[in-house]
Homo-oligomer: A and B are copies of this chain.
Amino acid sequence: MPTRLTNYFLRTLREDPADAEVTSHRLLVRAGYIRRQAPGVFAWLPLGLRVKAKIEAIIRDEMTNAGAHEVHFPALLPREPYEVTNRWTEYGDNLFRLQDRRGTDYLLAPTHEEVFTLLVKDLYNSYKDLPLSIYQIQDKYRDEARPRAGLLRGREFTMKDAYSFDISDEGLDVSYQAQRDAYERIFTRLGLEYVIVKADAGAMGGSKSEEFLHPTPVGEDTFVRSAGGYAANVEAFETVVPEAIPFDGLPAPLVLDSPNTPTIATLVDLANAEYPRPDGRAWTAADTLKNVVLAVVAPDGTRELVVIGLPGDRDVEMKRVEVAFAPGEVEPATEADFAKHPGLVKGYIGPWSEAGAVLGDESSTGIRFLVDPRVVDGTEWITGANVDQKHVFGLVAGRDFVADGTVEASNVLPGDPAPDGSGPVELARGMEIGHVFQLGRKYAEALGLKVLDENGKLATVTMGSYGIGVTRILAIIAEDNNDDKGLVWPAAVAPFDVHVVATGRDEAVFDAAETIVAELEASGLDVLYDDRPKVSPGVKFGDAELIGVPKIVIVGRGVADGVVEVWDRATGDRAQVAIGEVGAALA
């Protein structure tokens, strides 16, 4: 049965919604696909629901091909399992929590590792039951601090989440690869460009983790890639460590006056003006060692100061620092922190002073000192002398100071070498559209998921977790496929295959349109039929362009000559086609 606009639940809007930050949000609302209910919470109108169903069907198909079985968990879950894994607390304000009438704690699940683990624990007990991959397509809840960009970051959103269960690490690799391959097939079928980046597992724990990022200017993530094929999340980028330099012949460090130079820029200016290099090369920020004081708060609440030393042309990147110190949380040191450590002279901090080591090995402050991996032995630095208004020049790493270790805390800069030797990297914006994790045994251990192994002994199961943001994908496809007139859906996910527009008031035209619509439906196409009798062709064409069905058939005066127009929404091409040839022209 064709869908007729005379009685379809659809109203296109002339005005952009006031709160739309991105194109997909603006167009999906204007063209009648979605409607906002609360910040980050949307209702799906008939057109939107059709596109969502098509995306879900492709995902289901490839999950089946990957050997995964569909289940469906509730969104409302009891607190206990999330308490066991500590995620009840770790999720912080991102978790929607509630109580039932008896005062029992519940949550709206942001992800389902715990209950999938418990389900398998409930039903399975032998290695013979494994491997197992199960998935669901289900609505999830995260109380985002800043729900934004329409469906791109919502608080209620649809995800496909899959979980794999294996007895061995090798088995997990196979299950992981099967999901990873399925993701590649899904994104290819959806026509979505993707980059697979190494990712930090973050709050999910576990060992191996990759993200599927879709390069897009509206992306929330910055990722690193080289022309030679390297790609990683900024958090996962590994610095290429330079060779150490022999100390031989390096001059002794020199403490020099450096009034009013609490910043790298002022320091470099002063150095070039007052203490130029003998060989005439200018000092740059890269010649300085910046020492940043941070406080790490461990899960048990203990607070530790850490100083990070990094080349002055780089900044500490908090995302990378957070990964380095997880599960501890990192924040800038406070005045109170400094007050407790008079050995650190603010604005002039360095690992060394004329009185001896200040940070690191044999230090006087007892504060942990970690350096960027580029601070290798033999590198020379201008850095604070731990005396107000003084810096030390020519301080040599490994000779004049020894750090307590290295840390991946610096930002990545364009031109940095890729760790796999594939050349210099660039930074790009991307949006996460999928994520595959090797969780390992973390959840199985916490929740006691063990099965009997081949020797009849209890062995802890190893798990993977695999997510795709269904509603986010829909928004990204809309974000990528539009023009100034409206949406331009790829055929794989379009709400309809063809949009037939009858124009004018001539009954013969509407009769011909009815016949064409019936034939197209009979050939298996989903047809949206604009049968509105008193709407001008201009309005009808405008709606068709806004809605964005890939093929539009215009039935008008040409009917008298036995022809209609077939209009390709993407290219704008219009072709006269004999009425009997419409089906073939659309194939």
Interface residues of A (CB under 8 A from B): 1, 7-9, 11, 32, 35, 37-38, 41-46, 49, 64, 67, 69-78, 93-94, 96-98, 100-101, 106, 108, 115, 119, 122-124, 129, 132, 134, 139, 141, 143, 145, 155-156
Contacts and interface: CB of A to CB of B under 8 A. Distances in A.
A43, A123, A132 pick with most chain B CB within 10 angstroms:
A43
A98 B155 CA distance: 14
A76 B49 contact: no
Given A97-B98, A134-B9, A106 B72 contact: no
A36 to B, nearest CB: 10
Contacts of A9: 69, 71, 132, 134
A64 B526 CA distance: 14
B46 A69 contact: yes
Contacts of A44: 71-73
21 contacts: A1-B64, A7-B67, A8-B69, A9-B69, A11-B123, A11-B124, A37-B115, A38-B74, A38-B77, A41-B74, A42-B74, A43-B74, A45-B71, A46-B69, A46-B71, A75-B139, A76-B141, A93-B101, A94-B101, A96-B106, A108-B108
A38 B106 CA distance: 10
A37 B77 contact: yes
A143 B77 contact: no
Contacts of A71: 9, 43-46, 49
A122 B13 CA distance: 11
Instruction: Output the residue of A35, A38, A96, A122 with the most chain B CB within 10 A.
Output: A38
A41 B108 contact: no
The 4 closest A-B CB pairs, nearest first, are: A98-B98, A44-B72, A9-B69, A93-B101
B74 A49 contact: no
Contacts of A97: 98
A12 to B, nearest CB: 10
A145 B145 CA distance: 33
A496 to B, nearest CB: 14
Copies of this chain, whole number = 2
A122 B30 CA distance: 12
Given A35-B123, A37-B74, 18 more contacts: A1-B64, A9-B71, A11-B123, A11-B129, A35-B119, A37-B73, A37-B78, A38-B74, A38-B77, A38-B106, A41-B74, A43-B115, A43-B119, A45-B71, A75-B75, A76-B96, A96-B100, A139-B139
Nearest to A120: B9
A69 to B, nearest CB: 4
Contacts of A45: 71
Given A49-B71, A70-B49, A101-B93, A76 B38 contact: yes
A361 B266 CA distance: 98
A122 to B, nearest CB: 7
A531 to B, nearest CB: 14
A201 to B, nearest CB: 24
A185 to B, nearest CB: 16
Nearest to A115: B37
A77 B67 CA distance: 36
A141 to B, nearest CB: 7
A76 B156 contact: yes
A526 B140 CA distance: 30
Contacts of A69: 8-9, 46
B46 A70 contact: yes
Contacts of A134: 9, 46
Contact of A76 (B64, B132, B155): B155
A98 B41 CA distance: 15
A580 to B, nearest CB: 30
Contacts of A123: 11, 32, 35
Chain B CB within 10 Å — which of A37, A44, A93, A97 has the most? A37
A71 B64 CA distance: 27
A459 to B, nearest CB: 19
Interface hub of A9, A69, A124, A134 (most chain B Cβ within 10 A)? A9
